[in-house]
Chains A and B, each alone.
Chain A
Amino acid sequence: DAKTTQPTSMDCAEGRAANLPCNHSTISGNEYVYWYRQIHSQGPQYIIHGLKNNETNEMASLIITEDRKSSTLILPHATLRDTAVYYCIVRVDYRNDMRFGAGTRLTVKP
């Protein structure tokens, strides 16, 4: 399983776009990039995932570089409720099923 590197913490102003980076330079061709978040005292919540192409859903957009060695999660209009720890995960092997790193603690400020 590819390892991921994320900044420990980030701040974002309410209403602005939050761009959360993730490096996964050892990713292999069949590994997906997943993003989850954990709001304080709650269970982790799925946000989005992708393989090669950029993806967008009602929560966020995922931009994956052409070489797939890094990606960015974009929350287009961050709200105070988006304050959470965001986890970037790459996986395909069942034995490494959804292993979480330290994540990025995003704080959205008024």
Chain B
Amino acid sequence: DTAVSQTPKYLVTQMGNDKSIKCEQNLGHDTMYWYKQDSKKFLKIMFSYNNKELIINETVPNRFSPKSPDKAHLNLHINSLELGDSAVYFCASRQGEIGNTIYFGEGSWLTVV
């Protein structure tokens, strides 16, 4: 009964491929996020959605497209994968006000070869 679950946990793929990472939260939260943690371990926010509406869209290449079919899901689709996309991607969610706690998933390790 993991609160924020991501699949797959590990993904190795070739340059130029298109891949998706799925995220689901069973906490009933209305805001979901994607974060990227690169090899230098900096954790950077990429997107946030509130009630299926895009709220934050950082300077992320448009090869990255988040999709929120419903409040409980926020999937990350990446087109034309590049070596620099190799990172750990974390999904997270939060309920209500901006000050509320954010809960993170366990991460998806993406390696582009």
Contacts and interface: CB of A to CB of B under 8 A. Distances in A.
Interface stretch (A17-25, A74-82, A90-98): A90-98
Contacts of A100: 35, 42-44
Interface of B: 4, 33, 35, 41-45, 48, 55-56, 90, 92, 98-99, 101-107
B8 to A, nearest CB: 15
17 contacts: A42-B107, A43-B90, A43-B106, A45-B104, A85-B41, A87-B43, A91-B99, A93-B98, A94-B56, A97-B33, A97-B45, A97-B48, A97-B56, A98-B45, A100-B35, A100-B42, A100-B44
Contacts, number: 52
Interface residues of A, number: 21
A46 B48 contact: no
B99 A49 contact: yes
Tell me which of B48, B104, B106 has the highest count of chain A C-beta atoms within 10 A of its own C-beta: B104
Interface string A83-110: 0010100011111011110100000000
Nearest to A31: B99
Contact of B56 (A43, A91, A95): A95
Contact of A43 (B41, B42, B104): B104
Given A44-B90, A94-B98, A97-B48, A102 B104 contact: no
Contacts of B55: 94, 97
